[in-house]
Amino acid sequence: MDAFLAQLWIARWPIFDGFLMTLGISVGAIVFGTILGCLVGIQLVFGSLLVKLPFRLYVDVMRGTPLLVLILAAFYIPAVMGLSLSASQAGTLALGLFAGAHIGELVRGSLQAIPPGQIEAGRAIGLRFPQILANVLLPQALRTALPPWINTGVELIKGSSLLSMIGVGELLLKTQEVIGRNFMTIQFYVFAGILYLIVNISLDLLGKSLERRLGARL
């Protein structure tokens, strides 16, 4: 145990950097994914058939492909297209596109759960569609979508560990580098696991308490 603590002290900065990278990429991906997901969700419910089709295709492709494949594709494909992305940019792009599809489905589900009578009521009092969307539908939909949105955040933090495979210096890669120096395999993998657990369990509990609190009113 003492030996582990001594090694951990030596490795404190790389691991801290990796931890920050994991959080930074996850936050970047969820912001990007949320904006994209709201757009996708709205189009999937209210768009014309011609608009729905490409969005449906996007969602199905993202949900049918393993995240690791998306990450590898985002890392290799832009380079041949003449776009130079760094590993962490490519990784954030892949995670964000992945999150966009999942959040799109969340938003679609919550929008469809709103009784259609409310749209008619909005029309009846003379609101135009964008007003109905902004003032009637979205506030309710976002509240239903909030607990599963938190779950998506947990999935993204877990998924960001896959970025170690394209060389992004996030928590897992930094941990592997530290293990490469001191060979304390179990101790450092468990330590990294505990860091992931602390962040994710906190989010998990937040999601559950939101579910209880918001669920009661719907």
Partner 1 sequence: MNYTLHFGAVWASFDHLLSGLAIGLALAVAAVAVGTVIGLLSAFASVSRSRLLRGISGTYVLLIRNIPLLVLVLLVYFALPATGIRLDKYESFIGSLALYAGAYLTEVFRAGLLSVPKGIVEAGRAIGLTRLQTNLYVVAPVMLRNSLPSLGNTFIGMFKDSSIAAAIAIPELTFEARKINVDTFRVVETWTVASGLYIAACFTIAALLRMLERRFPKF
In the complex, minimum distance from the CB of residue 199 to partner 1, in angstroms, rounded to a whole number:
8
Q: Are 42 and 114 in contact (CB under 8 A)?
A: no
Give contact residues for partner 1 (rule: CB under 8 A).
60-61, 64-70, 72-73, 76-77, 79-82, 154, 157-162, 164-165, 172, 176, 185-186, 189-190, 192-193, 196-197, 200-201, 204
In the complex, minimum distance from the CB of residue 121 to partner 1, in angstroms, rounded to a whole number:
34
Compare residues 12 and 208 and give the one whose CB is closer to partner 1.
208
Q: How far apart are CA 7 and CA 4, in angstroms?
A: 5
Q: How far apart are CA 190 and CA 152, in angstroms?
A: 24
Q: How far apart are CA 54 and CA 36, in angstroms?
A: 14
Compare residues 38 and 71 and give the one whose CB is closer to partner 1.
71
In the complex, minimum distance from the CB of residue 107 to partner 1, in angstroms, rounded to a whole number:
19
Structure tokens at 198: 């602390």
Q: How far apart are CA 97 and CA 30, in angstroms?
A: 9
Q: Which amino acid is at 105?
A: E
Long-range own/partner contacts, residues 81-89 (CB < 8 A, 24 or more apart): 87/163, 87/166, 87/167, 87/168, 88/21, 88/25, 88/163, 88/168, 88/169
Compare residues 92 and 160 and give the one whose CB is closer to partner 1.
160
Q: How far apart are CA 47 and CA 133, in angstroms?
A: 13
Compare residues 141 and 196 and give the one whose CB is closer to partner 1.
196
In the complex, minimum distance from the CB of residue 3 to partner 1, in angstroms, rounded to a whole number:
14
Q: Are 22 and 171 in contact (CB under 8 A)?
A: yes
In the complex, minimum distance from the CB of residue 126 to partner 1, in angstroms, rounded to a whole number:
42
Compare residues 118 and 185 and give the one whose CB is closer to partner 1.
185
Compare residues 193 and 215 and give the one whose CB is closer to partner 1.
193
